[in-house]
Amino acid sequence: MSAQIIDGKQIALEVRAGVAEKVAALKAKGITPCLAVILVGENPASVSYVTGKRKALAEAGMTDRSEILPENTTEEELLALIDKLNKDSSVHGILVQLPLPKHIDEDKVIMAISPEKDVDGFHPVNVGKMVIGKKAFLPCTPHGIIVLLKRMGIETSGKHAVVIGRSNIVGKPVTLLLARREINCTVTMCHTGTKNMAEIVKQADIIVAASGHPHTVTADMVKEGAVVIDVGVNRIPDATKKSGFRLIGDTDFEAIKEKASFITPVPGGVGPMTIAMLMYNTLEAAENAADVK
């Protein structure tokens, strides 16, 4: 079998076009959705993500109140900025790009963001609501994965999904979203403490690879016809590229595409969906603030 490649770039464009239409409708009522993306320092991957997010904001017709701060910004300065943005009613969403420099306590920063403006869905109030199935901002990457499965018409009910990774941003939330009644997967979560990972992954109908390491999933671990969602973004040196690197995922794409039924490429799979769902959440934050829908 040769897998159908899931075009995350195209699906993300469709989601973003839908958001842009609703933004235009909201603007006609005098409300322009506004997001503040905060970047501290110059981590190259973070700079690239923030650039992509800001470009998407402009294309959706939203206001960009982003702040690019130097590496030596203190925790107090960052908390003061968040406090200011929390109180500013023209700002609907606040996102602090992670990871933060080591001298800043990430948990403290996430907790400082007003849950109503937490479009990343990282604040414990939103995490808690997500866990118990209440309306909340869903974290963008896991939500994007669910949208990809739905838009591709992939059957999920009763299927065995194996998630590799237990991060707060991807592994944990995607495990819970896949187990929701409307998705209805049986979910196994693997992590660095898992002993027989290859045996477990081989049983999967749906594999979500979010280990953060290249080639975590090899073709011998993939059941014929499985759906493979690759969340990895690993930079590896490549002298043929102007940038000096290229991106690869957490799976052995070339070999697995001969066995899987569906597979996401890297780049162009899950990544663009993260940005699309951020636009979706920012629109929702503005609609909530305006009490319209």
- Supply the minimum distance, in Å, between the C-beta of residue 1 and ligand GUN: 32
Q: How big is the site for ligand GUN, counted in residues (CB under 6 A)? A: 9
Judged by CB under 6 A, which stretch of 13-21, 92-100, 210-218, 240-248 contacts ligand GUN?
A: 92-100
As a whole number of Å, the end-to-end CA separation of the chain is 44
- Identified catalytic residue from 7, 117, 118, 120: 120
State the binding string over 33-62 for ligand GUN (x if CB under 6 A, else -): ------------------------------
> Of the candidates 31, 98, 152, 290, which one interacts with ligand GUN according to CB under 6 A?
98
120 labelled catalytic: yes
Q: Is 169 in the site for ligand GUN (CB under 6 A)?
A: yes
Q: 163 labelled as ligand-binding? A: no
Give the max Cα distance, the chain. 56
**Residues 6+ positions from 285 with CB-CB distance below 8 Å:** 33, 92, 93, 116, 117, 119, 137
CA dihedral 188, 191, 194, 199 (to 10 degrees): 50
User: Torsions phi, psi of 166, nearest 5?
Assistant: -130, 30
- Supply the minimum distance, in Å, between the C-beta of residue 256 and ligand GUN: 24
Q: Are 189 and 175 in contact (CB under 8 A)?
A: yes
> Of the candidates 274, 275, 276, 281, which one interacts with ligand GUN according to CB under 6 A?
274
DSSP reduced 3-state for 103: coil
State the binding string over 117-146 for ligand GUN (x if CB under 6 A, else -): ---x-------------------xx-----
> Of the candidates 7, 78, 94, 97, which one interacts with ligand GUN according to CB under 6 A?
97
Nearest residue to the partner ligand GUN, using Cβ: 98
Question: Which two tokens mark 171?
Answer: 């592994």
Judged by CB under 6 A, which stretch of 95-103, 123-131, 156-164, 258-266 contacts ligand GUN?
A: 95-103
Question: Which two tokens mark 250?
Answer: 């957490």
Q: 119 labelled as ligand-binding? A: no
203 labelled catalytic: no
Question: What pairing do the DSSP bridges indicate for beta strands 206-209 and 245-248?
Answer: unpaired
Which segments within 13-116 are labelled E, that is strand?
A: 34-40, 63-64, 67-69, 93-96
DSSP reduced 3-state for 88: coil
Rounded to the nearest angstrom, the gap between the alpha carbon of residue 69 and the centroid of all alpha carbons in its chain is 23
Rounded to the nearest angstrom, the gap between the alpha carbon of residue 210 and the centroid of all alpha carbons in its chain is 11
4 labelled catalytic: no
Judged by CB under 6 A, which stretch of 7-15, 89-97, 209-217, 223-231 contacts ligand GUN?
A: 89-97
> Of the candidates 15, 94, 95, 112, which one interacts with ligand GUN according to CB under 6 A?
95
Q: Which helix (H) or strand (E) holds 235?
A: strand 234-237
Q: 167 labelled as ligand-binding? A: yes
Which residues of this chain interact with ligand GUN, rule CB under 6 A? 95-98, 120, 140-141, 169, 274
Known binding residues for NADP(+) are 165-167, 233
